[in-house]
């Protein structure tokens, strides 16, 4: 019995980290554009939105992660712990770096790692999921880039589209960007809460309704307590947005993720939003935006994260459940992945020191 509670505890801790990471994806644009000026207000809206999204529409993605990638009869309590622990450690490390990371990638990677260890993975379903990971960010970038040029023309013709002044026009634009951000938070609940509770439901440790309720609650708590740093990253460090730009970005991300959730496909919400921000920024400033260090760092973590969580889960299975003589090779792969993440952190610290020295006139 105690091992079941350990699995549930890890899942709820993972859900809290999903809230911290998803905060940037759902309300970062509204915060960066100035529609929400206080960080706590933005995070509170995220908390309400993700809980409602999970409770009202998270069932289909829960089914996919519980039984759509590997056979559900394979999921024991021990394997559920391995999946959740692998995904949680990867996501928690990214949150410490302030990097918006896709919880779908790390969770699917962890599930696949277990499936590879037992040589049973639904490859066709996995390829469908991965294809969405590639296609949706491209669509988001393209839509945002096209809309960015249109918005730029509108704002040049009439300054009211920029939200300048304090009249009803600006209040209307602020209302739009808040509605779009809340829609995206709702979509985060529909899609991302399943990453924490899907393995529990697949193993029969929690009922679907129970898993969605408690997962949604802890995602909301995580957004409030730990979401500030990632919110700042997506909202302010990549590029600043006008109210109309923020509405277009959040609306694009929310609609794409809601549609995917209705079909039970776990998709990278954070990638979709971040690439939409990059598309909008590229329409404004050209592709030199991609030279920013924060953008390059996000791209690197996106590549490392699913491979790292997959390697960690595979290694834990072979270490504690199915010992294998070639475990040393896998451990080396884990070490290389960890060194890669550590180098990203060291680079960030070096950049901060350089900025501080420059500001001090050194």
**What is the tens place of the pLDDT at every residue in 224-255?**
988 888 787 766 665 567 788 888 988 999 99
Q: Which pLDDT score is estimated for 1? A: 73
Do the beta carbons of residue 277 and residue 295 sit within 8 Å?
Answer: no
C-alpha span between 150 and 74 (Å, rounded): 51
Identify the band that residue 290 occupies on the pLDDT scale cut at 50, 70 and 90: low
Determine how many CB atoms are found less than 10 A away from the CB of residue 246.
32
What average pLDDT score do residues 334-357 get?
61
Look at residue 53 in the predicted model and tell me its pLDDT. Answer: 95
Whether 66 shows a pLDDT value over 60: the answer reads yes
Exposed/middle/buried for residue 303 (C-beta within 10 Å: 0-12, 13-18, 19+): exposed
Q: Give the pLDDT band of residue 344 (cuts 50, 70, 90).
A: low
The confidence band for 297, taking pLDDT boundaries of 50, 70 and 90, is low
Average pLDDT, stretch 28-47? 84
Percent of the chain with pLDDT over 90: 40
Q: Which of 124-133, 159-168, 269-278 has the highest mean pLDDT?
A: 124-133
The DSSP result for 49-71, as a single string, is HHHHHHHHH-HHHHHHHHHTSS-
Please, are residues 238 and 274 in contact by the beta-carbon 8 Å criterion? yes
The gap from C-alpha 114 to its chain's centroid, in whole angstroms, comes to: 22
Q: Which of 33-37, 113-117, 140-144, 210-214 has the lowest mean pLDDT?
A: 33-37
Would the pLDDT of 43 be above 80? yes
pLDDT at 97: 64
d(CA 76, CA 200): 9
Quick one: pLDDT at residue 237?
Answer: 61
So what's the pLDDT on residue 286?
Answer: 75
Q: What is the dihedral of CA 176, 151, 53, 236, to 10 degrees?
A: -90
Average pLDDT of span 111-118: 92
Tally the residues of the chain: 362
Is 44 a residue whose pLDDT tops 50? yes
CA 338, CA 344: separation in Å to the nearest integer? 10
Global pTM value: 0.82
> How confident is the prediction for the chain on average, in pLDDT?
83
Q: How far apart are CA 226 and CA 289, in angstroms?
A: 27
Q: Which residue has the higher pLDDT, 23 or 309?
A: 309
Give which of 33, 19, 98, 18 is closest to 277, Cα–Cα: 33
The answer to whether residue 216 scores a pLDDT higher than 80 is yes
For the chain, what is the largest distance between any 2 Cα atoms, rounded to a whole number of angstroms?
Answer: 70
Query: Whole-angstrom Cα distance, residue 119 to residue 175?
Result: 51
What value does the mean pLDDT take over residues 86-115?
Answer: 80
Task: Specify the long-range contacts of residues 294-300, CB closer than 8 Å, at least 24 apart.
Answer: 294/233, 294/237, 294/238, 295/238, 297/97, 297/99, 297/344, 297/347, 297/348, 298/99, 298/100, 298/274, 300/340, 300/344
Which helix (DSSP H) or strand (DSSP E) does residue 308 occupy? Answer: helix 293-316
Q: What is the mean pLDDT of residues 88-117?
A: 80
The pLDDT of residue 362: 45
Better-predicted residue by pLDDT, 338 or 232: 232
pLDDT over threshold 60, residue 355: no
**pLDDT above 80: residue 191:** yes
Q: Is the pLDDT score of 64 beyond 80?
A: yes
Supply the pLDDT for residue 347: 64
């Amino acid at each position: 019995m105690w091992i079941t509670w350990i699995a549930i505890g890890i899942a709820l801790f993972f859900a809290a980290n999903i809230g911290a990471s998803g905060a940037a994806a759902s309300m970062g644009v509204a915060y960066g554009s100035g529609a929400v000026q206080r960080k706590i207000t933005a995070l509170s809206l995220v908390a309400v939105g993700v809980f409602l999204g999970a409770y009202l529409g998270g069932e289909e993605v829960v089914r996919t992660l519980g039984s759509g990638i590997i056979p559900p009869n394979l999921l024991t309590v021990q394997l559920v712990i391995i999946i959740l622990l692998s995904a949680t450690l990867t996501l928690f490390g990214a949150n410490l770096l302030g990097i918006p990371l896709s919880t779908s990638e790390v969770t699917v990677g962890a599930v696949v790692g277990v499936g590879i260890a037992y040589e049973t993975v639904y490859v066709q379903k996995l390829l469908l999921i991965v294809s969405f990971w590639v296609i949706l960010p491209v669509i988001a970038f393209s839509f945002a880039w096209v809309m960015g040029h249109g918005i730029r023309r509108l704002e040049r013709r009439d300054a009211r589209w920029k939200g300048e002044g304090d009249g009803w026009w600006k209040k209307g634009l602020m209302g739009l960007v808040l509605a779009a951000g809340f829609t995206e938070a709702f979509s985060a609940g529909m899609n991302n809460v399943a990453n924490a509770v899907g393995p529990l439901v697949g193993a029969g440790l929690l009922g679907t309704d129970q898993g969605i309720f408690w997962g949604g609650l802890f995602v909301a708590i995580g957004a409030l307590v730990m979401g500030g740093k990632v919110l700042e990253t997506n909202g302010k460090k990549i590029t600043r947005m006008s109210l109309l730009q923020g509405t277009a970005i959040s609306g694009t991300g929310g609609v794409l993720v809601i549609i995917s959730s209705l079909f039970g496909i776990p998709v990278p919400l954070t990638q979709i939003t971040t690439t939409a921000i990059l598309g909008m920024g590229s329409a404004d400033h050209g592709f030199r935006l991609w030279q920013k260090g924060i953008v390059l760092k996000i791209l690197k973590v996106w590549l490392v994260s699913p491979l790292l969580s997959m390697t960690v889960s595979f290694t834990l299975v072979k270490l504690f459940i199915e010992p294998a003589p070639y475990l040393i090779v896998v451990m080396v792969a884990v070490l290389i992945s960890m060194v890669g993440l550590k180098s990203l952190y060291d680079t960030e610290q070096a950049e901060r020191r350089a900025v501080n020295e420059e500001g001090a006139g050194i």
